[in-house]
Amino acid sequence: MIAEEGARLGSEAARSVVRLGCADVLPGLSEEEFARIEEEFGFAFSDDHRAFLAAGLPVNRSSSTGRQQSWPNWRDGDPDELRERLARPVQGVLFDVEHNSFWSTHWGAKPDMPSQALEVAGRELAAVPLMVPVYSHRCLPAGRGTYGHPVLSIHQTDIIHYGTDLADYITQEFNGPPHGEGASCLRSTVAFWRDLVD
């Protein structure tokens, strides 16, 4: 069972997708589909994300072209593409460790050897919360029993808030004020990722 506030946020976000016409909306995911997805990919959706996808599964419009689908299709999408999208936030951080001198102060002293630095960073990142794509590279943290996290836009270690929560994010992404408006009052909630928010 999901939290009432999580259900409200997810339902509100789903209604906004329909109202704004920003996706084709298929019937929502069933409990059996959620169980299969969470087993196959090794995570649990947050309560608001789960309620959002149960109300209706947004997919790219039929006229959309290009390989990468902005809306992850959790029902019929390519499993390898979905795995790659789930891995992308961590892979982006590792890219910045290797190529852009990124190092978190929480990881201790940075090893001199690049291969050792990548090994240490990989171990540390294996313990951070998994970020699940909502749309493109906008993500929510995984975690049953959680809801109300700000949606984060994650591109390597360049991370910004894209909405105070899932419902606000849909409005801002597709019809709202410029991104970042009011960002200074947002609370960052997700361990590790919150330290990278601009």
Per-residue pLDDT of 164-188, as tens digits, reads 999 999 999 998 655 444 444 566 6
Q: Transcribe 151-198 into DSSP letters.
A: PEEEETTEEEE--SSHHHHHHHHHHSSPTTTTGGGPPP-STTGGGGB-
Strand 24-26 and strand 57-59: the pairing is antiparallel
Q: With a threshold of 0.75, does the pTM exceed it?
A: yes
Per-residue pLDDT tens over the stretch 82-137: 999 999 999 999 999 999 999 999 999 999 999 999 999 999 999 999 999 999 99
